[in-house]
Structure 1
Amino acid sequence: MSTIIPLLALAAVIVVLVAAVWSIRRPKGPWRPPYPLIDATGEEMARRAAELRDRLSRTTFGEARASALWHRLMSINDGEGLIAELHRDFCGQGLIRRGDQIVLCDVFDGGGATGDIIAAWREEADFVAFFARQSDFSCSGWDVGEPVFFTEDAWYRNNQRLTARSIDRFVGGAAS
Structure 2
Amino acid sequence: MEWSTEDENDMEYKPPKQTVVVKEEKRLKMQEKSRGYQEKPVEEEEEEIPDIYEVVVNIKDFQELDMLLRSELEEANFKIIKVSHVTDGMKEQGRKDFWENMNIYLICRLSDGYFILKRNPHLVGFCPYRVYTYRNKEGFLVVGFVKPSIAIRYMGVIDLKAIKLLKKHDLELKKILDSLNN
Same fold by TM-score greater than 0.5: no
- TM-score, normalising length: structure 1: 0.35
| Bigger Rg, which one | 1
Q: Which has the higher contact order (CA 8 A, sep 6+)?
A: 2
- TM-score, normalising length: structure 2: 0.34
